[in-house]
Amino acid sequence: MDKKRTIRTSAVVQKRAKELRQEMTEVEEILWAELRNRQLENLKFRRQHPLAQYIVDFYCAKHKLIVELDGGIHKQQKEYDAERSRYLEQRGYRVIRFWNHEVENSLSKVLEAIASKCRD
């Protein structure tokens, strides 16, 4: 029997996730406009979703897929991002990352990559 495992989050993380939903970046808003309301292949995504001590940019629970958008700051925090991804992947989540410029310049390719990952 396949049991659902959830990662508990603290009230502080949940509160911060709510704040981030109200302060989305322009690139997050662009992608969210395409993911919300099951617009991409009827997949349900959440934005700024808390998982354990982390807040992921976008999350599809059905496929345990995390979509992360990386801006310039991520060039300086490669180790942190790698550790974060490792932690989540060890718990059965799949992480896919895109640079902000990919969303801005190749949105259709980004959407196809996300959909394709959900088909795997």
Q: Tens digit of pLDDT for each residue in 7-60? A: 677 888 788 777 777 888 999 999 999 999 999 999 999 999 998 889 899 999
- Any domain includes 41: yes
- Higher confidence at residue 3 or residue 77? 77
Range of the domain at 66: 11-119
- Any domain includes 4: no
| Biggest alpha carbon–alpha carbon distance for the chain | 43
d(CA 35, CA 24): 14
What's the pLDDT at 3? Answer: 46
Q: Is the pLDDT of residue 117 over 50?
A: yes
What's the pLDDT at 16? Answer: 73
- Any domain includes 48: yes
- Any domain includes 69: yes
Q: What is the DSSP secondary-structure string of 59-104?
A: EEGGGTEEEEEE-GGGGT-HHHHHHHHHHHHHTT-EEEEEEHHHHH
What's the pLDDT at 40? Answer: 97
pTM: 0.84
What's the pLDDT at 2? Answer: 42
Name the residue with tokens 């059905």.
Answer: 62
- Any domain includes 80: yes
Q: Is the pLDDT of residue 61 over 90?
A: yes
- Any domain includes 89: yes
**CATH number for the domain harbouring residue 61:** 3.40.960.10
Task: Kindly report, residue by residue over 63-114, the tens digit of the pLDDT.
Answer: 999 999 998 665 667 888 889 999 999 999 999 999 999 999 999 999 999 9
What domain count does the chain have? 1
- Any domain includes 85: yes
- Any domain includes 3: no
Q: Is the pLDDT of residue 1 over 70?
A: no
